[in-house]
Structure 1
Amino acid sequence: MSFDALYNPYSSQRMTTFAKNGMVATSQPLAAQAGLDILKKGGNAVDAAIATAACLTVVEPTSNGIGGDAFALVWTKGKLHGLNASGPSPQSISIDALKEKGIDEIPKHGWTPVTVPGAPSAWVALSERFGKLSFKEVLEPAIEYAANGYPISPTLGKFWKAAADHFKKVLTDDEFKHWFDTFAPEGKAPEVGEVWRSEGHAATLREIAETNAESFYRGKIADEIDAFSKKYDGFLSKEDLAAYQPEWVDPIGVEYRGHKVWEIPPNGQGIIALMALNLLKDSEYMSKEEVYTYHKQIEAIKLAFTDGLKYVTESKSMTTRAEDLLSDSYAEERRKLIGENAIDPTPGTPPKGGTVYLATADSEGNMVSFIQSNYMGFGSGLVVPGTGIALQNRGHNFSMDPDHDNRLEGGKKTYHTIIPGFLTKGDQPVGPFGVMGGFMQPQGHLQVIMNTLDFRLNPQAALDAPRWQWMEGRKVLVEPNFPNHIAQALARKGHQIQVALDGGPFGRGQIIWRDPETGVLSGGTESRTDGSVAAW
């Protein structure tokens, strides 16, 4: 199978990047180049992914950090492997414990929503199982940028300023001062083009590199996190950190258009993209730009999302199995709800039985789909003093309803928004793909896959195409360049269409496909941010 059999090679051909020896696609040029440098030093796609991910904690702190979570899909030696490096809630937290403190709703900021960070463990696990170079070597570029600084890029500067302005208004307690010391040391966010550095961040990365992250979970850094938590009556403890290990998991997938689309199983929301594709695979779409296509996409994603928000959590706490949600019989029942007009979705009854994304590939056939995040930009607003570690706020997604599958419990992993994707055909890899951005992610996966397989767009065109996002009920946001006649036709079907004039939350994606006959790589990067494909 050649590229031509997969998609139209002439759509946006000038913008698609082709290469033979290796490729790294991500949202920051400096991080992409760091990954490429690792490939040129003899590292493989896994080494490049780790280097890029570590760099992104430095060069895009508005979206991720050392104190966040990560997931990965790795293709190597003819097999796809899944890694879930999301951390659980502290053992001591519970719905009752929060209510005793007068907390009825889990906040976005502060210690309450902080869960165990999984990202450093992901880097180590990937390096130990599949890497070629030493762990210290692949972290060197990130340490270099943290210690010596780098100039702020345009989109990064925009989001950094927005976060700083917002945090000045809402993070007024003493526990948040370290965020401002680290990320707004002169009382403001760094300007576009200004050089920013963080020696604390560099020192932490050095210690993670030298100890294979043992210090982070069971050593000096863990003690610093524990002391900071205790000072402000947080739930997270060094015992929670010490008990943590990432999990190797079996990816889940569905057949679609002669290919198989793969995601990480719950607690991630990748299953939502798969459920939606299951609802859509019975139809043939003659054209991308027709109201029928968009209407069915929107109706499918809202049905899948409604089920996901009810049932998805840590797999052992789910009352419904993933395979039941993905069954053909359940898809057939839910598909009957898609009619000529927009509906207000409700969950079904299945049968019983700010984020960064990167993609890498090398000349040996290895390919990696990797994603990590602090959630909601900078996360909890907490930075461990002197370390550059911005702690995530994933606990915000837990439910305070004791009867909900995703209810808050100690030592539990919550419903997770970040999802890497992967595409195969038969026993061959096509490649990694992803669209970051909170609850946009499964919707982005759906649109990118259909752009590729139904409408034969090349990677860059598949990413550049105008996007939509279902929000709730019948409300759908569309980008300013979304076709107006389609928007009007959708409105006539009952969809409440709103144009996001400020750019909107439409995610940021990356794609790398491999031609199985020639080994040539074809990559696309996000035009909605400072995206870059580094290749050789």
Structure 2
Amino acid sequence: MRRRTLLAAVPAAALLPTAGLAEGPKPKAAPATPNPDVSTPPVWEAGADRFVRPDVHGGDRVVGASFASRTAAYGLSGAAGTAHPLATQAGIDILKRGGSAVDAAIAINACLGLLEPTANGIGGDVYAMIWDPKTKKLAGLAGSGKSPRGLDLATVRSRAKGGTLPAYGAISVSVPGTVDGWWTMHQRYGKLPWKELFEPVIAHAEAGTPVPDMIAYYIRRSLAGFRQPGRGIEETDNALHTYGLNDGKGPAAGQVFRNPDLARTFRLIAEGGRDAFYTGEIARTIDAYFKRIGGWLRYEDLATHKSEWIEPHKTGYRGTDVYALGANTQGIATLQMLNILEHFDLKGAGFQSPLSIHLQAEAKRLAYEDRARYYADPHFSNVPVEWLISKEYAAERAKLIRPDRLLSPVHPGQAPSHGDTTYFSCADKDGMMVSMIQSNFRGMGSGLVADGLGFMFQDRGQLFSLQDGHPNIYAPGKRPFQTIIPGFAARGQVPWMSFGVMGGDMQPQGQAQIVINRVDYGLEIQSAGDSPRWHHEGSSQSMGEDSPGLGPNGMLRLESGVPEAARRRLAEIGWTLGEPDGGFGRYQCVEHRMDGDTRVYAAASEMRADGCALAY
């Protein structure tokens, strides 16, 4: 072959023409009249038939994996990878001003709330892991808000649908933790003045920015969903006013989006700090809004909110230390999966082989049974974390996996008797690295935008359980189970990767695949993320993420790049395979290297989203 590849060679017969080179599905042509939303109409209708051809793949690269989309960005002084190019640029600009990686992360996150409102915003929660080069330790921050104290379990159950909380409306809203999370990080690690961090987002919100294709698609889809009958959203006028543009349907790809309400909100935060949000004008506006629509979030809920510093948990995986946050997140599921998989020779099984995918998916199923049974707010429940992430427990679970058939049924372990999302990463010249994730939970969130504030509230409360005796059962003033988790890995007490894979229950599955791609298969930072992924759905749960009707073994979705031979074998041993649905997560990563005495950063960004990675 002309170039090396990590995938099997295509049989020569498959390269021969059959019935003509022009055959195959043809995308729908653009309408003859100009698109009124943009000055230059696209060649293909956005969101209609895509140029998807199973027999056509990306162009050839001279070096690297055959599926790699591009090369990592390299730099000596700093790096950032985010889901939007303008957010990445904002982070780099803050670093060049002399800001710390935490300063850059806050500026990035503020911009993403404007630029990517389908995944995050100041109406949601935030989690971070921060490598401190002075102490040479990793710090964890949980910026997760609690349920309203005036909303009781009986009321929640009266609004339940199918045994779970509704996905939208005021019943699903918990206290937004993001702004206090930023403030808490900045108080410890910030270098630039607080108000300077919001200059980029205020400028973009007032001047407007063109909306990328993927984000435009999801905004329009979300707004259409909010308007559907039976959603239970108390009012949608504010959301349509904020995000709907002229027709209320949302921006087209490339159309300029402005949010002057959000610019004003950020000006208040820039001048007044976190108090502007939790005890000042913004808090009073939020209180008045929820009283007006019959919701439960109140000024007192905001005024008593505080983030907390937490100690990250750690496990070793073939010489690499992998970290995760506990608290009320699903972070330790990554560690549980890796602990189980350490008992199998994934390298010998082969990259993208049916055995490798089978073993990984089975480890996921085992870990997620524990996730459904034990994970919750540790302030309300005694979560047996040390037992769950122990090597001894992993060895017991690994013995259940068979290479030629599925484990059925799958149960959680018996504990001892003691009891849509954005991810980004950045690093600075001093060696500080920030792994940060922030979300409104399901898509844009609850559908609710307070009068004149320009941001949507999260619907994270949907992830409470309503089962009696469950550690994650709803209670007033309690933090719901969280899916958002940052990732971090080190080698020999030296930071290696600040990374994450966003996307609901995909996050631990995606994080484990990144670690495996790098440690077991030797992929570099960009191709580790570009590699085809698997996503298993249908594990036991007791909250609003349930995927009904998937059968006892759930469904294993494979991206189109997984070899056909692997697909056939996985089906033969019993996996129910699903079509790719775009739910394979989105990855960003900054890698720390040493070239002699010189620090080098490599940054990678997800090819499945609209973002980019930069370094300088």
TM-score normalised by the chain length of structure 1: 0.95
- Paired position in structure 2 for 1:61: 117
Task: Provide the rounded CA distance (Å) in 1 between the counterparts of 2:504 and 2:199.
Answer: 29
CA distance 1:101–1:72, change in 2 (3 Å) = closer
Contact 1:418/1:436 (<8 A) preserved: yes
Per-residue CA shift, 1:125-163, capped at 9, x if unaligned? 111110110110011101111111100111111111211
Structure-1 residue corresponding to 2:389: 326
Q: Shift of the alpha carbon at 1:215?
A: 1.5
1:167 equivalent in alignment to 2:226: yes
* Cα distance in structure 2, aligned partners of 1:260 and 1:278: 11
Equivalent residue number for residue 36 of structure 1: 92
Indicate the residue corresponding to 1:4 in structure 2.
none
- CA deviations on 1:277-309 (whole Å, 9 max, x unpaired) are 010112222221222211110000111011111
Quote how far apart the aligned CAs of 1:10 are. Answer: 4.3
Distance across 1 between alignment mates of 2:159 and 2:383: 32
2:328 counterpart (252, 263, 267): 267
Secondary structure in structure 2 of the residue aligned to 1:112: helix
Which of 190, 212, 218 is matched with 1:153 structurally? 212
1:492 to 568, 572, 575: 572
- Aligned partners of 2:207 and 2:291: how far apart in 1? 32
Extract structure 1 runs of 4+ deviating beyond 6 A: none
Q: Identify which range, 382-391 or 345-354, moves more after superposition.
A: 345-354
AA partner of residue 343 (structure 1): L
In 1, the alpha carbon distance for the partners of 2:335 and 2:353 equals 23
Q: CA deviation at 1:102?
A: 7.5
1:89 equivalent to 2:152? Answer no
Q: Is the contact between residue 159 and residue 166 of structure 2 (CA under 8 Å) also seen in structure 1?
A: no
- The alpha-carbon deviation at position 267 of structure 1 amounts to 0.6
Aligned to 1:366: 432
* Counterpart check, 1:527 vs 2:616: no
Instruction: Identify the residue that residue 518 of structure 2 maps to in structure 1.
Output: 452
CA distance in 2, matches of 1:464, 1:293: 17
Deviations 1:82-120 (A, max 9, x none): 000011111122221334567763111110010000011
Please point out which of 585, 588, 593 is paired with 1:515. 593
- Report the more deviating stretch, 458-467 or 170-179: 170-179
User: 1:342–1:474: 8 Å Cα contact kept in structure 2?
Assistant: no
Aligned length: 526
Unaligned runs of 5+ residues in structure 1 are: 1-8
Confirm or deny: 8 A CA contact 1:110 1:380 kept in the other structure: yes
Per-residue CA deviation, residues 438-475 of structure 1 (Å, 9 max, x unaligned), is 11000000100100111110111000000111101241
Matches of residues 298-309 of structure 1 in structure 2 within 5 Å?
Answer: 298-309=361-372
> Deviation per CA, 1:255-291, whole angstroms, max 9, x where unpaired?
0010110011131111111101010112222221222
Equivalent in the alignment of 2:303: 242
Match of 1:440 among 506, 513, 529: 506
Task: Kindly provide the amino acid, as one letter, of the partner of residue 520 in structure 1.
Answer: V
2:219 and 2:159 mapped to 1: Cα distance?
A: 32
Selected match of 1:464 from 503, 527, 530? 530
Q: Which has the higher contact order (CA 8 A, sep 6+)?
A: 1
Alignment counterpart, residue 408 of structure 1, candidates 464, 474, 479: 474
C-alpha separation in 2, matches of 1:143 and 1:389:
13
Q: Determine the C-alpha separation between the residues in 1 that align with 2:222 and 2:279.
A: 32
Please give the alpha-carbon distance, in whole angstroms, between the structure 2 residues aligned to 1:159 and 1:59.
12
Matched residue type, 2:311: D
> 1:306-355 CA distances to partner (integer Å, 9 max, x unpaired)?
11111101013334411111112211221121113112322121234510
Corresponding residue for residue 226 of structure 1: 287
1:292 corresponds to which of 355, 363, 370: 355
- Between the aligned partners of 1:117 and 1:31, the Cα distance in structure 2 is 21
The answer to whether 1:182 aligns with 2:245 is: no
1:324–1:352 Cα contact (<8 Å) kept: no
Return the letter of the residue paired with 2:610.
D
Distance 1:238 1:92, change over 3 A: same
Write out per-residue CA displacement over residues 26-78 of structure 1, whole angstroms, 9 at most, x where no aligned residue.
11000000000001111121111111011000000111111000000000121
Amino acid at match of 1:348: G
Residue of structure 1 equivalent to 2:341: 280
Q: Does the C-alpha gap of structure 1 residues 322 and 230 become closer, same or farther in structure 2, counting only changes over 3 Å?
A: same
**Partner of 2:379: helix, strand, or coil?**
helix
What CA distance in whole angstroms lies between the structure 2 residues aligned with 1:308 and 1:360? 29
**Residue 341 of structure 1, aligned match among 377, 396, 405:** 405
Which residue type is aligned with residue 337 of structure 1? L
Q: CA deviation at 1:213?
A: 1.7
- Unpaired runs of 5+ residues, structure 2, are 1-62, 539-552
Return the letter of the residue paired with 1:131: G
Distance 1:442 1:174, change over 3 A: closer
Q: Is the 8 A contact 2:69 2:607 kept in 1?
A: no
Q: State the Cα distance separating 1:21 from its structure 2 match.
A: 1.1
Indicate the SS of the match to 1:409: coil
Identity %: 39
Cα distance 1:13–1:374, how it changes in 2: closer, same or farther (>3 A)?
closer
Following superposition, the deviation at residue 513 of structure 1 comes to: 0.8
SS in structure 2 of the partner of residue 313 of structure 1: coil
Quote the offset at 1:239 in angstroms: 0.5
Paired position in structure 1 for 2:260: 199
Larger Rg: 2
Distance 1:199 1:13, change over 3 A: closer
Partner-residue secondary structure (3-state), 1:62 = coil
**Are the structure 2 counterparts of residues 488 and 19 from structure 1 closer, same or farther at C-alpha, using a change threshold of 3 Å?**
same
In the alignment, what sits opposite 2:186?
Answer: 127
* 8 A contact 2:78–2:428 mirrored in 1: yes
Classify the secondary structure of the residue corresponding to 2:305: coil
SS of the aligned residue for 2:334 comes to helix
CA distance in 2, matches of 1:331, 1:492: 27
The whole-number CA distance in structure 1 between the counterparts of 2:487 and 2:234 is 40
The amino acid of 2:396's aligned partner reads E
The 8 Å contact of residues 115 and 236 in structure 1, kept in 2 or not, is answered as yes
Secondary structure class of the residue paired with 2:608: coil
Matched, 1:351 2:410: no
**Residue identity matched to 1:322:** V
Change (3 A) 1:291 1:164: same
Q: Is the 8 Å Cα contact of residues 168 and 233 (structure 2) preserved in structure 1? A: no
Name the CA distance, whole Å, in 1 between partners of 2:165 and 2:381. 21
Could you tell me how far 1:434 is from its partner in structure 2? 0.1
2:235 match: secondary structure: helix
Q: Which residue does 1:3 correspond to in 2?
A: none
How far residue 174 of structure 1 moved from its aligned partner, in angstroms, is 5.4
Q: Distance in 2 between matches of 1:176 and 1:505?
A: 26
Say yes or no: does 1:140 pair with 2:140. no
Shift of 1:481: 2.0
| Mapped partners of 2:181, 2:473: distance in 1 | 26
Deviations 1:176-205 (A, max 9, x none): 211111111422211111111011000011
- Secondary structure of 2:172's counterpart equals coil
How far apart, CA to CA, are the structure 1 residues paired with 2:92 and 2:504? 27
Contact 1:355–1:372 (CA<8 Å) still a contact in 2?
yes
Cα pair distance change 1:341/1:41, threshold 3 Å: same
Paired with 1:402 and 1:219, the residues of 2 have a C-alpha distance of 38
C-alpha displacement of 1:241 = 0.5
